[in-house]
Amino acid sequence: MTQLAIVAEDSRNNKIAGSHRVAASYAPTKLTCPKSCPLMDDGCYATMGRTAIHANRLNQAVKKGMRPEQGARAEAKAIKATFKGGQIPQDGKKGGRDFRLHVAGDVRTKKSAEILADAARDWKKRGGGDMWTYTHSWRTIPRHHFGKISVLASIEKPADAEEARKQGFAPALVVQTHPSTKAFKVEGTDTEFIPCPQQTRGVACSDCRLCFSESKLFHQGKGIAFAAHGATQKIKKHLTVV
């Protein structure tokens, strides 16, 4: 049977799971990531390091003619099957276990986003915590299609932050290196970027939670800045120097 999604009910990724447990999913980048992404096949971190183990396995299952919605349905089905379809453990920072949606992968169509938004509703209904992710499809998929998922727009250029905000997204800017541990601004946008606390201070996502509240970031005119990690010189050519 073709496997197009993987869900770890108890992720051992210490970048996202700190003092509280987190679930995580993985989807095939070849099927779910937008072809417009500048990092596809050119430095995508999901195809490097440990994440590549899952991404490569899932990508091998992708067959010619498959639709991106098939990947979304497989991921949604795997999410709904967690804990045998029953109650989610209450071991998150604010109750139910939180969920990092597609550590590898993305959504390519509006329908795909809606399919996963439904899975997020099911996760919450069963007592789950926050579900968060990032997307390179912010130009083509309006924010409302993601429902209750906390989703940030992945950008590589500061000027894109303003366009992402017009689309209703708080931006997540990838830079070559963080200038400091303090929030900063860059030319081309009024957005203030907070350096990822996991990268600058070792605070895991489940404890930091900034990306879990993208609506708050949006209304405060803020975004998150990630320094290129596990990246080769290949990826850095796409990124901003601050």
Would you state the pLDDT for residue 54? 78
- The DSSP code sequence of 64-116 is TT--HHHHHHHHHHHHHTGGGGSPPPS-BTTBSPEEEEEEE----SHHHHHHH
The per-residue pLDDT for range 65-113, each reduced to its tens digit, is: 999 999 999 999 999 999 999 999 999 999 999 999 999 999 999 999 9
Of 214, 51, 42, whose CA–CA distance to 135 is shortest?
214
Helices then strands (H, E): number in the chain? 9, 8
Would you state the pLDDT for residue 130? 97
User: Helix (H, G, I), strand (E, B), or coil: what is residue 55?
Assistant: helix
28 exposure class (CB count in 10 Å sphere: 0-12, 13-18, 19+): buried
DSSP classification of residue 4: -
Would you state the pLDDT for residue 51? 76
Would you state the pLDDT for residue 237? 57
Would you state the pLDDT for residue 229? 63
Stated pTM of the model: 0.92
Q: What is the pLDDT along the chain (242 residues), one digit of tens a residue?
A: 578 999 999 999 999 999 999 999 999 999 999 988 877 666 677 776 677 777 888 989 999 999 999 999 999 999 999 999 999 999 999 999 999 999 999 999 999 999 999 999 999 999 999 999 999 999 999 999 999 999 999 998 888 999 999 999 999 998 888 888 899 998 889 999 999 999 999 999 999 999 999 999 999 999 999 987 655 555 565 555 56
Determine the length of the chain: 242
The per-residue pLDDT for range 31-45, each reduced to its tens digit, is: 999 988 877 666 677
Amino acid 37 reads: C
User: Helix (H, G, I), strand (E, B), or coil: what is residue 47?
Assistant: helix
- The DSSP code sequence of 203-226 is --HHHH-GGGGHHHHHHTTEEEEE
Would you state the pLDDT for residue 175? 86
